[in-house]
Amino acid sequence: MDYFAYVRGRLHCEDVSVDALAAEYGTPLYVYSARTIIDHTRKLARAFAPAGDPILCYSVKANSNLSILKLMRDEGAGFDVVSGGELHRVLSIGADPRRVVFAGVGKTDEELRTALERDILLFNIESEEEMENLDRIAGGMNRVAEAALRVNPDVDPHTHVYVATGKKETKFGVDLERARRVLARAGRLRNVRMSGLHVHIGSQITRVEPYVQTLQRLARFLPEARAMGHPIEWLDLGGGFGIWYKEKLARSAQEIADAVMPSILAMKVRLLLEPGRFIVGNAGVLVTRVLYVKESGKRRFVVCDAGMADLIRPSLYGAYHRIWPVTTDPAHGGEAPDEEQWRGPTVISDVVGPICESGDFFAKERKLPPVRRGDLLSIFSAGAYGYAMASNYNSHPRPAEVMVAGRQAKIVTRRETVEDLVRLERVESFDVDPGAAAQGPG
């Protein structure tokens, strides 16, 4: 569900037409719908409300724009952060540290220290060594860190291998066998209080069974953890709830909640959730302008001004994103950006970017209405892991981001300039001694 829709052949974000936004702010441009973000947040909150008083910790990595974070804070959400940088972001919009959880396999001493100083709610511990380190640092600060052990339930989330985290063979958390040993060790630490269990089995999960299976395993493990003397009050179920990219496969918040609720209630824990994509994925599109249309071999290429540096998901995961012109002819049906409903002419095209890599594409052999130089295309479901994973590769300034609420549209990230690109760099000169001939190829 989202608030992007075609009205008489023109794509709108809420009450604003997307071609007007592109004319005003330029392209490539990320456009977000605030109402969609709020709608998804409330759907999740409502569905999981029977769990008592769950805390929805928005996963900042999905889209860390400050205005989105503020929107989430105003909705009463907490935050799931994975770095000092993300912690800085949420604190800078006035988030309550008591609603912040900190995950990630590689937290540095400095990050742990800062989070302890700010008195965050929970550290999601990913290894025994990290736990010992947290105990040491907390001890030095005369504090007791609240922690949840991230266990790896060895469940197959049936998603892309790069975003599957719940199998034993991944680097995340500790398997259940080791978890027993880590908890035994935790019992002897004075500055870490193990008050929760954490799982996050993967991302873009479109079935409920992996969650149900995970909870069954946790439900068996929990009494053991409590019997070892750990006051397990929190269950952090992670995120991973899938959205619609192409097929309407993903489950609704209600379906997921209904499937897991009996186990959660039986476990007598307070629930934490870490949704990212579910909140922002369908709340954003990437608008790009067609620079050139060319043919080579048997292929037709639509070359856009956005590329893999702006949205890397198709290149990295082979991810499917719907793509459709921002303005279409309503006489041909297709008020939805949907090739099946479109009765007008189509051309099979590869939609590609300007980056010097063959892997720089948004779609291959996609059926699209014929487009020409200067036309605008919308790449849908780009709100999560879009701008957040953008880079300056090939020295392309990153796009602007604009947020729409009703008739209002405001820039929430200005477009980078070429001056921004070189701001951190220095031009130094070196006297290089060529020395002896170096060994090796070349």
Q: Does 200 interact with ligand LLP (rule: CB under 6 A)?
A: yes
Alpha-carbon torsion, ordered 223, 224, 227, 231, to 10 deg: -70
CB of 16: closest distance to ligand LLP in angstroms?
26
CB of 62: closest distance to ligand LLP in angstroms?
5
- Taking the CA atoms of 207, 241, 340 and 298 in sequence, report the sign of the dihedral they define: negative
Q: Does 111 interact with ligand LLP (rule: CB under 6 A)?
A: no
Q: Does 276 interact with ligand LLP (rule: CB under 6 A)?
A: yes
What is the DSSP code string of 122-177?
EEEE--HHHHHHHHHHHHHTT--EEEEEEEE------S-GGGB--STTSSSSEEHH
203, 282, 349, 378: which one contacts ligand LLP (CB under 6 A)?
A: 203
C-alpha gyration radius of the chain: 24
CB of 202: closest distance to ligand LLP in angstroms?
7
Q: Residue 385 and residue 308: Cα distance in Å, rounded?
A: 12
Q: Residue 394 CA to chain centroid, in angstroms?
A: 24
Specify the residue, 317 or 320, whose C-beta has the smaller distance to ligand LLP: 317
Structure tokens at 328: 């279409």
CB of 313: closest distance to ligand LLP in angstroms?
5
Q: Does 307 interact with ligand LLP (rule: CB under 6 A)?
A: no
Q: Does 219 interact with ligand LLP (rule: CB under 6 A)?
A: no
> Max alpha carbon distance in the chain (Å)?
73
- Look up 304 and say whether it is catalytic: no
Q: Does 107 interact with ligand LLP (rule: CB under 6 A)?
A: no
14, 19, 80, 360: which one contacts ligand LLP (CB under 6 A)?
A: 80
CB 313 within 8 A of CB 385: yes
Q: In degrees rounded to 5, what are phi and psi of residue 44? A: -65, -45
Specify the residue, 165 or 328, whose C-beta has the smaller distance to ligand LLP: 165
CB of 297: closest distance to ligand LLP in angstroms?
30
Q: Residue 320 and residue 31: Cα distance in Å, rounded?
A: 19
Q: Does 313 interact with ligand LLP (rule: CB under 6 A)?
A: yes
Q: Give whole-number Cα distances, 78 to 69, 71, 234, 411, in Å.
A: 9, 11, 14, 24
Footprint of ligand LLP on 40-59 (CB under 6 A):
59
What is the DSSP code string of 304-322?
ES--TTT--HHHHH-----
Q: Does 196 interact with ligand LLP (rule: CB under 6 A)?
A: no
Specify the residue, 63 or 213, whose C-beta has the smaller distance to ligand LLP: 63
CB 55 within 8 A of CB 33: no
Specify the residue, 319 or 371, whose C-beta has the smaller distance to ligand LLP: 319
What would the x/- binding string for ligand LLP be over residues 318 to 357, using CB under 6 A? ----------------------------------------
278, 324, 361, 362: which one contacts ligand LLP (CB under 6 A)?
A: 278
What would the x/- binding string for ligand LLP be over residues 220 to 259, using CB under 6 A? ------------------xxxx------------------
Specify the residue, 64 or 349, whose C-beta has the smaller distance to ligand LLP: 64
CB 28 within 8 A of CB 286: yes
CB 192 within 8 A of CB 134: yes
If 0-12 CB within 10 Å is exposed, 13-18 middle and 19+ buried, where does residue 43 land? middle
Q: Residue 381 and residue 271: Cα distance in Å, rounded?
A: 28
What would the x/- binding string for ligand LLP be over residues 353 to 392, using CB under 6 A? -------------------------------xx-------
CB 323 within 8 A of CB 363: yes
Q: Does 130 interact with ligand LLP (rule: CB under 6 A)?
A: no
Q: Residue 355 and residue 363: Cα distance in Å, rounded?
A: 14
CB of 340: closest distance to ligand LLP in angstroms?
25
Q: Give whole-number Cα distances, 191 to 15, 195, 255, in Å.
A: 53, 12, 39
Specify the residue, 82 or 186, whose C-beta has the smaller distance to ligand LLP: 82
CB of 53: closest distance to ligand LLP in angstroms?
20
Q: Does 62 interact with ligand LLP (rule: CB under 6 A)?
A: yes
Interacting residues of 218 by C-beta distance below 8 A, sequence separation 6+: 151, 153, 197, 199, 235, 263, 267
Q: Please give the single-letter amino acid code of residue 426.
A: R
CB of 48: closest distance to ligand LLP in angstroms?
14
- Tell me which stretch binds ligand LLP (CB under 6 A): 21-29, 43-51, 274-282, 295-303: 274-282
Q: Does 163 interact with ligand LLP (rule: CB under 6 A)?
A: yes
Q: Does 103 interact with ligand LLP (rule: CB under 6 A)?
A: yes
**What residues act catalytically?**
356
Which residues make up the interface to ligand LLP (CB under 6 A)?
59, 61-62, 80, 103, 163, 200, 203-204, 238-241, 274-278, 313, 317, 384-385
